[in-house]
Amino acid sequence: MIGVLPIPAAVVDQQGRVVSANRWIQATVGQALVTPADEEVAPGLRFGVDRTSRWRVRRLDDAGYLLLATAEREDAGDHLLRRFFASHDSLFVVYDQAGRVIESNQAWNQLLGYSSSDVFGLDSWTLLPPTDLETRARVEEDLRLMGHSEPRFQMRAANGTYRDIQWALHFDTNVGRCFGIGRDVTEELRAHDELRQRAYTDDLTQLANRAKLLEVLGGHLEGSGQPAVLFCDLDRFKVINDSLGHQAGDSLLADLGRRLKDLQQDGDVLVARIGGDEFVAVLASSDHGGATAVAEQILETLTEPFLLKGRSVHVAMSIGIAVATPGERVTAEELLAHADLAAYQAKKSDREGYVLFDERLRSAADRRFNVELGLRSALDDNRIEVHYQPIVRLPGSGIVGIEALVRWRTEDGWLRTPGHFLDVAEDAGMMPEIDHRVLRRAMIDGASVIRDGRPLFVSVNVSGAELTSTDYVERVLQLAQDTGFDPTNLVLEITESTFLLANSVRPTLEALREAGVRIALDDFGTGYSSIAHLRELSVDIVKVDRTFVQNLPSDQVTNSVTNALVQLCRILGLTVVMEGVETTDHASAAEQMGGELAQGYLFYRPMPYEQFVSLIRARATSTI
């Protein structure tokens, strides 16, 4: 048995005399290796009779003898390694070629709740979940082919719970040992899951939100199914809010959410609240008959009245149904829009019920086409404008920067915000041209203000399509030169969706930062990839999304999550901007948790350049 061990090992009797030894030990049968304690060798760690070697001693189950193994050699390298990791916070462990534990430091033992004698000789793979055989195979292959591996897997603690550990493993062929340095990431992953759940969950009803809905629907459309969307809009909900109050309205929505959640017992149905009194059900695959059957189920949930402030209230609902037809090229947003149009038609009919989206209603979808035409005309006629919203240092002591916001001036003089056209512009490939115009105007206006001796940074949104173009950095720097704008005063804002393009945009972002341009992550916390990618893509500024700020400080869960976001950013040395600050309570809560800068209607609304110049001349400024 001991002959296969690649380490010094021997079997001794109760008095510490050798019964058998492997080739690593120069000892004869009957020779004493350890001094017995109380006339009998006891399990544990002890010096040998030569006082220079140390042995870990374990009792043999089969013969009642003791197995002594791994005489610890006091050579300089091993000695320093043990001393360094003995009290180090990192987990340190040494395995033999078979994956058995030879050495483990105090951090590893304390985390998992084992003693050194408990784990010595233990097959480490037995600590993984029984179903995680794939991880073992992958790690062993990496070590065999490359000599190193960086896996993350769960390990079972002595109390039966599991800890997630990120490992850096290195196999040294010279000594036949695998050295592992690990980090417990259990709480980090738990926080990430909580943030992801938060980003995908509606606070009031605990149903999925719009982001989750679109992700799931998009997956169905990419598959082979025929998904259906049911857009559900309560009728005359405003009357309930106005007559009984918003608290009663929220109670109604929460109760309705609980009723609709029952539809999700079938895994093929997802129900989401996407805003206000609007709910959406997504069927993974259905025809018109199946979709209308679900619509009737939804309407059936409304037959029982809602109890609001002691009163029984009946509500009605209008439902629009859109079913993806085979071979139809439609996006999740488009199918949702089709169902929305059908719900609007159902509401216009002034009766409770549902309407199917058809060719008659398809003409309403032509709005997108008209928007595209209007945008192209606006580009030709120079009717794309830039307004500016100041960014202040909390608690509002001075303007430190401005965000450039695009506006579309229609032919009839209406000013359209991005929500009315950006989705169309992105689909139509017009964002690069719009981004270029906004950036150029922002540099011209920003340079003018800075030349007047008012230091501030200018923040401009940039689309992922721009960042993936090979000449983007050159174009930005050329614009800065042409307009006399110092690139060190420029902040480029990217969205969390851009992180999904991490490999393709990283060189561009690094080149921009080398030129002095700062990078800001916009709407932080609304996407699932942010935390995982913050280390991969270097950013300077993080803008916490308004959905977190809006519930400060009344919602304790929001406070905790937002505080965790802010503290994470501060640990990483990032400047934090709190978006959507609309009340003094928002500002106070944001400042208390460490937010440095803020932006929102409490301080300033977006304004034309001329109005901003008048404002800045009358206000003090500070620098970031």
> Domain map of the chain by residue range?
2-69, 76-184, 200-357, 368-618
Q: What is the pLDDT of residues 553-585, one digit of tens each?
A: 888 888 888 888 888 888 888 899 999 999 999
Q: Which of 552, 479, 550 is nearest to 512 (CA)?
A: 479
From 14-18, 65-69, 480-484, the region with the lowest mean pLDDT: 65-69
CATH C-level class of 200-357 = alpha beta
Q: Which of 617, 619, 585 is nearest to 600 (CA)?
A: 585
Measured distance CA(442)–CA(457) in Å, rounded: 10
Residue 534 has pLDDT above 50, yes or no: yes
pTM of the shown model: 0.47
Provide the pLDDT confidence category of residue 80 given band limits of 50, 70 and 90.
very low
Mean pLDDT taken over the chain: 83
pLDDT score recorded for residue 75: 43
CB 71 within 8 A of CB 84: no
From 405-409, 462-466, 483-487, the region with the lowest mean pLDDT: 462-466
Give whole-number Cα distances, 580 to 205, 564, 598, in Å: 22, 18, 8
pLDDT score recorded for residue 535: 62
From 71-80, 135-144, 342-351, the region with the lowest mean pLDDT: 71-80
Q: What are 110's two structure tokens?
A: 């304390």
From 97-101, 245-249, 579-583, the region with the lowest mean pLDDT: 97-101
Beta strands in 137-227, from DSSP E residues, in sequence order: 148-149, 152-156, 162-172, 177-184
Helices 502-514 and 472-483: crossing angle, nearest 10°?
A: 30
Q: What is the pLDDT of residues 146-185, one digit of tens each?
A: 888 888 888 888 888 899 889 888 887 776 778 888 889 8
Give whole-number Cα distances, 94 to 122, 419, 483, 602, in Å: 11, 57, 60, 58
Residue 317 has pLDDT above 50, yes or no: yes
pLDDT score recorded for residue 86: 60
Q: Which fold has domain 76-184?
A: Beta-Lactamase (3.30.450)
Measured distance CA(460)–CA(476) in Å, rounded: 12
Measured distance CA(530)–CA(498) in Å, rounded: 10
Residue 223 Rama label (left phi>0; alpha psi -120 to 50; beta):
beta
Residue 394 CB neighbour total at 10 angstroms: 20
Provide the pLDDT confidence category of residue 60 given band limits of 50, 70 and 90.
confident
pLDDT score recorded for residue 73: 44
From 251-265, 496-510, 598-612, the region with the lowest mean pLDDT: 496-510
Measured distance CA(41)–CA(15) in Å, rounded: 6
Measured distance CA(383)–CA(386) in Å, rounded: 10
- The alpha-carbon radius of gyration of the chain (Å, integer) is 33
Q: How far apart are the first and last CA of the chain?
A: 68
The 3-state DSSP composition of the chain as helix, strand, coil percent (nearest 5) reads 40, 25, 30
Ranges 129-133, 253-257, 485-489, 520-524, most confident: 485-489
pLDDT score recorded for residue 530: 53
User: 240 or 227: which carries more pLDDT confidence?
Assistant: 227
pLDDT score recorded for residue 460: 97
Give whole-number Cα distances, 575 to 192, 285, 490, 621, in Å: 20, 45, 15, 18
φ/ψ (deg, to 5) at 510: -65, -40
φ/ψ (deg, to 5) at 102: -105, -40
Q: What is the pLDDT of residues 420-467, one digit of tens each?
A: 888 788 877 888 899 999 999 999 999 999 887 788 999 999 987 788
Q: Region 528-544: what's the mean pLDDT?
A: 70
Q: What are 13's two structure tokens?
A: 């009797």
CB 588 within 8 A of CB 395: yes
pLDDT score recorded for residue 532: 56
Provide the pLDDT confidence category of residue 71 given band limits of 50, 70 and 90.
very low
Measured distance CA(620)–CA(362) in Å, rounded: 53
Q: Which of 562, 564, 523 is nearest to 545 (CA)?
A: 523
Placement of tokens 């998904």 in the chain: 227
**Residues contacting 448, CB < 8 A, separation 6+:** 613
Provide the pLDDT confidence category of residue 612 given band limits of 50, 70 and 90.
very high
CB 464 within 8 A of CB 505: yes
In this prediction, what percent of the chain has a pLDDT beyond 70? Answer: 87
Residue 113 has pLDDT above 60, yes or no: yes
For residue 155, the SS3 value is: strand
- Superfamily holding 368-618: EAL domain (3.20.20.450)
Measured distance CA(352)–CA(343) in Å, rounded: 11
**What b/e string do you get for 543-567 counting C-beta neighbours within 10 Å, with b at 16 or more?**
bbbbbbbbbbbeeeebbebbbbbbe
User: 528 or 245: which carries more pLDDT confidence?
Assistant: 245
